[in-house]
Structure 1
Amino acid sequence: MKLGLALGYWGSQPPTNHIQLAQEAERLGYDSVWTAEAYGSDALSPLAWIGANTSTIRLGTGVIQLSARTPTATAMAAMTMDHLSNGRMIIGLGVSGPQVVEGWYGGPFAKPLARTREYIDIMRQVIAREEPVANQGEHYPLPYQGEGSWGLGKPLKSILHPLRKEIPIFMGAEGPKNVALAAEIADGWLPLYYSPFRQEVYAPSLSNAKADFEITQGVVVNITDDVEAGLQPVKHMLALYVGGMGAKDRNFHKELVSRMGFEAEAQKVQDLFMAGKKDEAAQAIPDALADEISLVGPIDKIKDRLQAWDETPVTSLTVSARSSAQLQTLAELVLDR
């Protein structure tokens, strides 16, 4: 089991210790460090800064949003970062959701699977640099010949030669079809929630994954003797995603939790959250769900839980440590077994 550091996206102000955390993670043997974006800070700029101040740790976007950039722009960034970091780049992609795509980026959310397939195919063409890039699909036609076109576009090949002709592409995916697409066309998968005790939720979608397919799962870690109190941040996070991250009739996170066996509870959480009862919504999150997707409790319990994770196809756990001491403890728990 490998270990990664999840730094996420910025809040209202830039963090002050991400470089130091990444450097310490690298020193301790962490495999990767990940940045993210929502509708504030972007994922690539901080990752470049981190890459300039580290030398071996892999650099991942977990995730960047398809609608934020054209596929050629993302491929350009990937190749540039791969050169600057001496081959450490991982591009993690996600379709986001209709609220962000249509409300923030001003584009349609239609056909996310088809868009993702086209997007990754174009990226791979750009990075391989074997021939001029072209795409006949409806979402990212290259060259563009639609409304407003001057009719002068032609297929182009990147001026920059790639350091690696294949830069790893991971997909953030939740739905069964999207996870199956990740197993088919991507090099890795970034799940949102994964329980080592409910592997059947994803098993059919992963049945055709390649032998070297990577699964990088983020987990909240809280070493404490008070498990109930330690699970509270996890339950509040779940309440936000299940209750508020999406529309009432279409919330991908709620649908996932329902598939995990908590359909009635997920509905109750959404009803409470949308009624403004956010604390009650958090308390309605089942303890079993919060506990299974996290590492919360005394050291011995966490060690036992890590054995359960070892029996899954997950290849790396990413943790949101925020101090050198936490990084050290987690390295001892995960890497020094």
Structure 2
Amino acid sequence: MKLGLQLGYWGAAPPENAPALIAEAERAGFDAVFTAESWGSDAFTPLSWWGASTSRMRLGTSVVQLSARTPTSAAMHALTLDHLSGGRFILGLGVSGPQVVEGWYGQPFAKPLARTREYVSIIRRVLAREEKVESDGPHYPLPYTGPGALGLGRPLRPITHPLRADLPIWLGAEGPKNVALAAEIADGWLAIYYSPRLAPMYDQWLDEGFARPGARRSRADFEIAATCHVVVTEDRDAELAALRRVMALYIGGMGAPGMNFHADVFSRMGYAEEVTEIGRLFLAGRRDEAAAAIPERLLDDVAIVGDAEFVRAEVRRWEQAGVTMLLVTAPHRKAVRAIAEAVR
């Protein structure tokens, strides 16, 4: 089992201890460090700034949002960071949700699967640098010939030769069609909420993608990086109480009524009634009650919280379910060390 340190995206200000966490993670044997973006800090800049102090860990985005930049722009970021890191970059991509895509980026959210497929295809062509990059669209036509075009655009190849044509691309995915697409066209799956209990269901989704003509990978060389709240503690109840508040936000407050992809994940896990109640309470402003409504078994499905022996046993269970990397957060260096020691 590999470990990835998830720094996420910033709140009101940059996290002051990120460099210390990264240094401790590299010393402790973590495989990678990841950054994210939502509608504040971007993912690439912090990764390049903080990643400059690393020498071994892979540097990844989990995730950058498709609608934030064109596929050729994302490819430019990726090939640049790959060069600067000596071939250690992982490009993690995700579609986000309609509230962010249409509200913040001013882009249409429709057809996320088709957009993802086209986006990744263009990035692959940029990185291959075998020919000038052209695309018939319909989502990212190159050259652009639509309304307002001057008709002067021409196909181009990147000036800079990419370090790796096979730079790994991982996809953030939650639903069955998205997961199957990741297995078909990507090198890894970034699972935001994964439950080992449901591994047979995930395997069906993945196998559908692996079986498609031209699939890029097989189960043998495909990475599954699962976000997991791992805490080594003797006070399990206190940690679960804190986790409940975070989960209430994602289940009840992320997305719009009727279109919350995180809530859908937990409904598929068998918590449809609980999800409805959590959403009702959260949207009514009763956030403490929403948190209290989250059952402990739901938390145990997606998190590992307990003493070192318990954590070690649970990590083995996640590994047996097919997970190759756990993406974990840590508030301080001591927590980074505790996780590494428990897992190793």
CA shift digits 1:136-158 (9 cap, x unpaired): 12100011110001111111111
Structure 1: 5+ residue runs without aligned partners?
none
CA shift digits 1:226-246 (9 cap, x unpaired): 322221222222211111101
Q: Distance in 1 between matches of 2:322 and 2:312?
A: 18
Counterparts of 1:63-142 in structure 2, within 5 Å, are 63-142=63-142
* Contact 2:231–2:339 (Cα < 8 Å) also in 1: no
Correspondence for 2:324 = 315
Q: Distance in 2 between matches of 1:201 and 1:289?
A: 17
Counterparts of 1:226-241 in structure 2, within 5 Å, are 226-241=235-250
Correspondence for 1:158 = 158
Shift of 1:17: 1.7
Correspondence for 2:214 = none
CA shift digits 1:149-169 (9 cap, x unpaired): 111111111100011111100
Shift of 1:184: 0.4
Q: Do residues 305 (structure 1) and 314 (structure 2) align?
A: yes
3-state DSSP of counterpart to 1:258: helix
CA shift digits 1:264-288 (9 cap, x unpaired): 1111111111111111111111210
Equivalent position amino acid for 1:291 in 2:
D
Shift of 1:198: 1.9
Correspondence for 2:337 = 328
Q: Do residues 50 (structure 1) and 50 (structure 2) align?
A: yes
Correspondence for 2:279 = 270
* Contact 1:201–1:260 (Cα < 8 Å) also in 2: no
Shift of 1:31: 0.4
Correspondence for 1:62 = 62
Q: Do residues 247 (structure 1) and 259 (structure 2) align?
A: no
Shift in CA distance, 34/70, structure 1 to aligned 2, threshold 3 Å: same
Q: TM-score, normalised by structure 2?
A: 0.95
RMSD across aligned positions (CA) = 1.1
Q: Which runs of 4+ in 1 moved over 4 A?
A: none
3-state DSSP of counterpart to 1:314: coil
Q: Distance in 2 between matches of 1:293 and 1:115?
A: 29
Q: Distance in 2 between matches of 1:176 and 1:295?
A: 24
Structure 2: 5+ residue runs without aligned partners?
211-216
Deviates more, 1:150-159 or 1:90-99: 150-159
CA shift digits 1:286-314 (9 cap, x unpaired): 21011221111122221221221121111
* Contact 1:201–1:259 (Cα < 8 Å) also in 2: no
Correspondence for 2:213 = none
Q: Distance in 1 between matches of 2:3 and 2:13?
A: 27
Equivalent position amino acid for 2:269 in 1:
M
* Contact 1:171–1:186 (Cα < 8 Å) also in 2: yes
Correspondence for 2:268 = 259
CA shift digits 1:183-215 (9 cap, x unpaired): 100000111111112213322111126121101
Percentage identity across aligned positions? 57
3-state DSSP of counterpart to 2:272: helix
Q: TM-score, normalised by structure 1?
A: 0.97
Q: Distance in 2 between matches of 1:172 and 1:30?
A: 21
